[in-house]
Structure 1
Amino acid sequence: MARISAQGPAQAQTDITRIAAADVSHRYGATVALADVALSIRDGESVAIMGPSGSGKSTLLHILAGIVRPDAGTVMLRTSRGTVDVATMKDRERSALRLTEFGFVFQQGMLIPELTAAENVALPLLLNGARRAEAAHTAENLLDELGLHGISGRRIGQLSGGQAQRVAIARARATQAQVIFADEPTGALDSRTATDVLGALLAATAERGRSLVVGTHDERVAARCDRVVRLRDGRIDSDEAPR
Structure 2
Amino acid sequence: MNDTQLDKANIDNLTALWRAMGSEPGGMAGLQASRGWPHRFWFDWDHQPELKGHELARLPPRAMVPVWTAGSALERALTSQGFGLVLEQRAMHLAVDGEGSRPEGGLRLSRVLTPAQAECWAALCGRAFGYEVATATVRRLLGADGACLLLASREGGPVATALLFHTGEVVGIHQVGVVPEHRGQGIAHELMLQLMALAREQGARYLTLQASAAGEGLYRRLGFVPRFSFSSYRRG
TM-score range, shorter chain: 0.3 to 0.5
Give the alignment's TM-score, normalised by structure 2.
0.34
TM-score, with length taken from structure 1: 0.33
